[in-house]
Structure 1
């Protein structure tokens, strides 16, 4: 508690906005694949998810540049406005008396663009407001809060998404308004605007990212991170589709589990484990070299998800949830540490924007997997994921062994 109270005000408020955003987002986001599959089919749904990912990729890149030009706070507010508008549109299109999945998709596309636009600014503000001494604590705290929000949100989504989507979307609109108010009236700008000389033009953004892309080590790390995204995003993509189509309904302790509810239960297991045992496991794995813990954790996580593609019954899926969660617990601290070591602190916005692009690119591949599943079987999808796992391990390990391409003396 003493460490938390000593944090910058922006960081304290950030913990609240993260919790609220994740709480509602995790109750809706993982279930939207199921929503699209029900209305459009798996093949079309895969391409729709790729459209969202492409838009998020572009928005993340431009948002990273804007956060270095307009400031962190202004960029975050613009993103919040898009999020609120998108959720409001989706809410109206899923009212009890009216449903339009086509316009719903547009609403979620807007919200995704807003989230991607704001993300680099949020990451940059966290770095600006923290120090080398407390940064590890800040990231650990945010990660813990995210998982609390995911745990509660997954439970809410599993039990209410199918029958109360309108109410969940209404909650998302309210949360978006609350977060925007916190950013507007509670947070202060952390970028020194006196040192800003670049413009917000697209060409200026291109030049900024040209400098980032000249850092070969960071580029290789981002390439590997794309495939790491493919691994941990599976609950939002192929795993969700697989459980919807293939899970054998099961009743446990009077609760009826169908595909969507099983997915939510697996996410609850994942988050409960992270909240309860992550510190204990990290005390042991902290003695490992970063590369070893990353490699072992990533392999276990990828292998666990690949095995889940082959399973259709309740208890085996419960067991494999424990496996891929163990891998996540091992690899997350090491991968975050390696990423922080590779980021040039004098270009925080651009580096953050460049890295934020790895998520939508990874989601594009994950969306393509959903479409490809129509032409292959579960074994084929498991094999594809394991290939991606090996690519992630090989490229990130190689990048971690390369020397830095910027002056470390510029760091705080």
Structure 2
């Protein structure tokens, strides 16, 4: 079935896999780099600024993807990334290091990535069908997780001593990706403008585009549902890590005859590896099992399993129960991610896919914000209070999603008679 996908999809999966694998050897460890070169406070501020800049760039990038086309935005973004990676190499040679130049280049990369992502997401929707989208997103999700697992493992061992060499590899991969995008990616969107009309790329046009998205009540409810569910995902690297580090004392364990000393942080690391391995190993199997079943039921079942897993993680200190919780939430993740992505593609306005996909970025940004707020909330309500809140988020995710889908289907049904009337 993979060969039946549009060439654009296959190319982006290949290039994204290689870019993400090499990028995962470097970018997750940049906070460590800035802490060493500056200090923890400055490093934290820089990382937050970087996230905000990338999000703002994605909003404008989505607008431009609907104004000048998908491929052109992707080419511009890939070229900017390649130049910025070269700048990072020059700022981190064996004889010269500049953290300020490195951060400036990181900002350029974030802006370029923000520009690329909405165009790329819109392009994937352009060239896929309702029948192939769940499979496409499942394969893409599998490839991204495998790439991150390989990259994080290698980067954890090599980043401190071989950052320069890793950056060189990133430059090579970035140039290859740019050349492949220029030569092989096909434009999937024809910009339609009236005769004599100019393309408005300014802020006024930008605000008008997003104002129209803001009036799409069904889509806004779908975004709220995504925020509720993704808020659980970002608890992993925030409250849950803090809780396990504090609550789980060092203990001795024997696994397959090997004696290990495990504390809270090491357990978090092992649970993360378990989650990634489960995603990588069972994406194909779960995708086959859910194929042909009611997408809405599959997605809601995934939400529930995902929520149950996080509730257990919030309250349990048992390594075996926590491992079981990761198994449950991973199964939920495998069920809901591709089906939700497929439904997202159906929710967007076909003439404004770039804008819609950029607006959908609020899911990740607010999810991260709520995830970070979990640390503060956890201090007040404790682990059982947090477990209850995870149940609430799960139910809100289902409620908002159901409201969104019903409203979208109702609007489609209202539009059908009008079309029939026109034909008559």
TM range (shorter): 0.7 to 0.9
Question: Displacement of 1:69 after TM fit?
Answer: 1.1
User: CA-to-partner distance for each residue in 1:292-314, whole Å, 9 max, x for gaps?
Assistant: 33233223223424544556786
Question: Residues 135 and 269 of structure 1: is their aligned pair in 2 closer, same or farther, counting only changes over 3 Å?
Answer: same
| Paired residues of 2:235 and 2:374 also in contact (CA < 8 A) | no
Question: Residues 361 and 105 of structure 1: is their aligned pair in 2 closer, same or farther, counting only changes over 3 Å?
Answer: farther
| Larger relative contact order (Cα-Cα within 8 Å, sequence gap ≥ 6) | 1
> What pairs with 1:34-73 in structure 2 (closer than 5 Å)?
41=40, 49-73=47-71
Question: Residues 208 and 352 of structure 1: is their aligned pair in 2 closer, same or farther, counting only changes over 3 Å?
Answer: same
> What pairs with 1:156-171 in structure 2 (closer than 5 Å)?
156-171=154-169
Question: Residues 104 and 159 of structure 1: is their aligned pair in 2 closer, same or farther, counting only changes over 3 Å?
Answer: same
Question: Displacement of 1:204 after TM fit?
Answer: 0.8
Q: Which residue of 1 aligns with 2:122?
A: 124
**Alignment match of 1:351 (pick from 343, 350, 356):** 356
> What pairs with 1:2-401 in structure 2 (closer than 5 Å)?
3-31=1-29, 41=40, 49-88=47-86, 105-195=103-193, 198-235=199-236, 237-239=238-240, 248=250, 253=258, 265-286=270-291, 289-308=294-313, 317-369=322-374, 384-401=389-406
Structure of larger gyration radius = 2
RMSD: 3.9
Q: In structure 1, how many angstroms separate the alpha carbons of the residues matched to 2:125 and 2:397? A: 25
Unaligned stretches of 5+ residues in structure 1: none
Q: Which residue of 1 aligns with 2:422?
A: none
Q: In structure 2, how many angstroms separate the alpha carbons of the residues matched to 1:240 and 1:103? A: 32
Q: In structure 2, how many angstroms separate the alpha carbons of the residues matched to 1:233 and 1:307? A: 16
Question: Displacement of 1:66 after TM fit?
Answer: 0.5
SS at match of 2:201: coil
SS at match of 1:130: coil
User: CA-to-partner distance for each residue in 1:119-156, whole Å, 9 max, x for gaps?
Assistant: 11001111222344544443333233223223322322
Question: Displacement of 1:190 after TM fit?
Answer: 1.8
Question: Displacement of 1:270 after TM fit?
Answer: 2.1
Question: Residues 401 and 345 of structure 1: is their aligned pair in 2 closer, same or farther, counting only changes over 3 Å?
Answer: same
Unaligned stretches of 5+ residues in structure 2: 420-424
User: CA-to-partner distance for each residue in 1:82-130, whole Å, 9 max, x for gaps?
Assistant: 4345555555666667766666555444433322221110011112223
Q: In structure 1, how many angstroms separate the alpha carbons of the residues matched to 2:299 and 2:387? A: 21
User: CA-to-partner distance for each residue in 1:259-279, whole Å, 9 max, x for gaps?
Assistant: 777655434322332233234
Q: In structure 2, how many angstroms separate the alpha carbons of the residues matched to 1:402 and 1:245? A: 45
| Paired residues of 2:137 and 2:338 also in contact (CA < 8 A) | no
State the TM-score, normalized to the length of structure 1. Answer: 0.80
* Structure 1 range deviating more: 146-155 or 198-207: 146-155
* Structure 1 range deviating more: 269-278 or 161-170: 161-170
* Structure 1 range deviating more: 352-361 or 89-98: 89-98
